[in-house]
Structure 1
Amino acid sequence: MSFLKFILKNPFRRKNSAILAIVGIAIGIIVIVALGGITEGLVDTFEETVHAGGADFQISGKETGDSAYGTNTIDASWTEKIANVSGVEEAYPIYVVLTSVGDDYMNTLIGIDPAGTTMADLSIKEGRIFEDNANEVILGEIYADDNEYEIGDTIEINREDFEVVGIYETGDSNMAGGVFTSISRVGELMDDEDSISNIYVKVAKGQDVQEVADRIDAKYGDDITTITSVMEMEQMADMLNMLEASTWAISLLAIVVGGLGIINTMLMSVFERTREIGVLKAVGWSNTRIMGMIVGESLVITVVSAVIGSVIGVALCLILGPQIGFTPLFTPKIFIQAFAIAIVVGIVGGLYPAFKAVRLPPTEALRYE
């Protein structure tokens, strides 16, 4: 029998002891994997929530002006400059003006690229989004209800006819009564195609919103202003950091408890195999080889525990997650961490029993019954 096969089979000669050790360590691994999946799932959900729909922050003019937001309009070229800043995923310009809309002498007209409507946190309730550079509009649900507009109706904007192609809803009360159309049409209506009011900025996933905003401020702060609201995101990030810290604390506890368990198991193994170890020494096995055997057997137990614990941890999360409305996410990092802990436990747990084994005098070990 080869040395490797010897190590693989030996731990399971005493099944009860091996099973107890595996169960003890596997419980720790289950907790590590399950908590890791929960934490990663929360991180992913948080980032998806933050970065899906709605801009992370806006860019506006620096000085007071006559735009609908009370700031000066800025040149349309700023959109490309902001889009090229590191950490920015998307940047869409908007042009907000107050003009005659339908029967209202003054109402809010918002121009934006059709692809950028998600940045304005809009959801189409009826119809479709307007096409670029077309005489088409979408109306806020409140505005449409108050003025009895339906899909297919015509609405006059600044003395030009536009077709109502969609009704939208939004969580932003400031937008609920607005009218959206293509930004290119707003520029033409206002005879000001090179100006914009604001820029919606979406930060790339994994990037810190405040850091990207600060980066823009540092580069262009003399000419533009970033408008952010990141307190809630910072609080959520703190909570996620606490969860990750808790995962590491539990991992450390698993190392301690698992290490003590494997030390006890391997010490019992050495005690029960005193005569066998004496025979191995008598036939020429070196201390290094015997230590390698004991530590190797310890590693076999902990790696098996890691496999079983990982499978059960994943299964529990996948079964229970949907029932409580939570989707776990398992990344390679979680399993690398779990197996690294198992290996550390195996090495630490096997070293002391291995030292005990090599210190046994062969003559005394052979007399042991």
Structure 2
Amino acid sequence: MTPWLQQLWAVTAMNLRNLPARLGTSLVAVVGIGGVVAVLVSLLSMGEGFRAALELSGRDDVALVLRGGSSDELSSAFDREAVSVIRSAPGIARDERGPVASPEFYTIVDLPMRSTGTSANVPFRGVTDRAFGVREGFRLVAGRKFEPGKDEVIIGRGAYAQFGNVDLGREVVWGSHTWRVVGVFEANGGLAESEVWTDLTVLQGVYRRGNTVQVVRLQLESPSALSDVERHLDADPRVNVTVQSEREFLADQSRILVTLINYVGTTIAVLMGIGAVFAALNTMYSAVSTRTREIATLRALGFGATPVVVSVLLEAMVLGLLGGVVGGALVYFGLNGYQASTLNWASFSQVTFAFTVTPRLLMTGLAYSLILGLVGGLLPGIRAARLPVTAGLREL
């Protein structure tokens, strides 16, 4: 070990051994930095959970066909003839019943939030039994499926947890029509779990839309078949469509809100980080001032200024790291998997999601805590290095 490293190790070990003597000021820095990390990671985990509910639930081998120029399902519409043209495109998977295509009617209804009682927009989708096959992981977790031709609905697991008036067997009124809740379903934690489903023809009749649907979902033979479907439909003058993979469509839907959440989370973390840096500065200045004699003695014995500066920085980073671990642990054990809902700005309806604290977010929090500790220890470290040896020795 080189003399420089020996000096650094000796000074750093002395600093860390003295931490219990400064427990109060050290805890202020740890709690301050831990609070910043907790806020940062919790906000980012909200964005990660929302993104997972949308983008990560999409599939590359499922295509969504909307009317040309439409960016969402509400602004799209197809009649029966257009649906037939779409179903005839090459590249669509087939079974004994023909092309695996799911025409779907999409609208918005109101439900009260269980937590507050305030009204929220909830997607209401009319589907055929084809919809069950093009949603990955679809299965009933309670009750049964709705019967075709009846005023019955099934509700996604996320919507069931977040909204009121949807208990099994209960009747719910939307407009002038009454529906009975007969089942609860899940779909790999995806967007469908935020929705209410019923029979397509029943919902079309209630809204007096004839044979109109908003979107057609297609099970593709393979992800590469998307281009075949798109080329065929673009060349057909009978339809004007936009074709996207389900994953791409849902990624577009989530982008605005996820970007906003990340921006807000980062901004708040930076502002709170300034306060945490001052707490760390106070702690480290206090540490330097209480060790004036030790630092002066070490300098008189031949210890260089650089090991003194680096040792103070390392001490501050240790405090920052402790704060990062505490903040990350609080968020992970307190929020990871917590079910919530927020407004999807693309569709203006509520989307249920779970806070998702990933290893990447925890590492981001730890990196930020180290940066805060480093910044908080920089000026005290420079002060310690510039401390006049004679002034320090006078205190002996």
In structure 2, the partner of 1:182 is none
Which protein has the larger Cα radius of gyration, Structure 1 or Structure 2? 1
1:367 is matched by which residue type in structure 2?
R
In structure 2, the partner of 1:226 is 242
| Residue deviations 1:88-146 (CA, integer Å, cap 9, x gap) | xxxx63399xxxxxxxxxxxxx9987973649x998999899xxxxxxxx844369xxx
* Distance in 2, Cα, partners of 1:215 & 1:76: 8
In structure 2, the partner of 1:116 is 133
1:15 is matched by which residue type in structure 2?
L
Where does 1:80-99 land on structure 2 (aligned, <5 Å)? 93-94=100-101
CA distance change for structure 1 residues 70 and 252 in 2, over 3 Å: closer, same or farther?
closer
The answer to whether the 8 A contact 1:67-1:73 is kept is no
In structure 2, the partner of 1:57 is 64
| Residue deviations 1:9-35 (CA, integer Å, cap 9, x gap) | 333331111112212221112212222
Displacement after TM superposition at 1:5 (Å): 3.5
Identity %: 21
SS at match of 1:141: coil
SS at match of 1:171: strand
Structure of greater relative contact order (alpha carbons < 8 Å, 6+ residues apart): 2
* Distance in 2, Cα, partners of 1:305 & 1:93: 53
2:235 is matched by which residue type in structure 1?
D
1:256 aligned residue (274, 295, 304):
274
1:243 aligned residue (261, 269, 275):
261
Displacement after TM superposition at 1:330 (Å): 0.8
CA distance change for structure 1 residues 367 and 291 in 2, over 3 Å: closer, same or farther?
same
Displacement after TM superposition at 1:222 (Å): 2.5
In structure 2, the partner of 1:360 is 387
In structure 2, the partner of 1:334 is 361
* Distance in 2, Cα, partners of 1:29 & 1:263: 17
* Distance in 2, Cα, partners of 1:337 & 1:269: 28
**TM-score, normalised via structure 2 length:** 0.56
2:365 is matched by which residue type in structure 1?
A
Displacement after TM superposition at 1:42 (Å): 2.6
| Residue deviations 1:154-201 (CA, integer Å, cap 9, x gap) | xxxxxxxxxxxxx999836644489xxxxxxxxxxxxxxxxxxx9624
The answer to whether the 8 A contact 2:296-2:388 is kept is yes
CA distance change for structure 1 residues 141 and 126 in 2, over 3 Å: closer, same or farther?
farther
CA distance change for structure 1 residues 60 and 326 in 2, over 3 Å: closer, same or farther?
closer
SS at match of 1:79: coil
Q: Where in structure 2 are there 5+ consecutive unaligned residues?
A: 1-5, 69-78, 94-98, 104-126, 153-181, 185-195, 205-214, 342-351
* Distance in 1, Cα, partners of 2:375 & 2:144: 65
The answer to whether the 8 A contact 1:262-1:298 is kept is yes
In structure 2, the partner of 1:87 is none
The answer to whether the 8 A contact 2:36-2:272 is kept is yes
In structure 1, the partner of 2:113 is none
* Cα RMSD for the two superposed structures: 4.9
Give the number of aligned pairs: 280
In structure 1, the partner of 2:92 is 79
CA distance change for structure 1 residues 311 and 287 in 2, over 3 Å: closer, same or farther?
same
**TM-score, normalised via structure 1 length:** 0.59
1:39 aligned residue (43, 47, 50):
47
In structure 2, the partner of 1:209 is none
| Residue deviations 1:194-247 (CA, integer Å, cap 9, x gap) | xxxx962479xxxxxxxx999975796334733689999866542332111111
1:57 is matched by which residue type in structure 2?
L
The answer to whether the 8 A contact 1:141-1:177 is kept is no
CA distance change for structure 1 residues 56 and 79 in 2, over 3 Å: closer, same or farther?
closer
Displacement after TM superposition at 1:38 (Å): 2.6
| Residue deviations 1:53-92 (CA, integer Å, cap 9, x gap) | xx7623799xxxx964476466563326xxxxxxxxxxx6
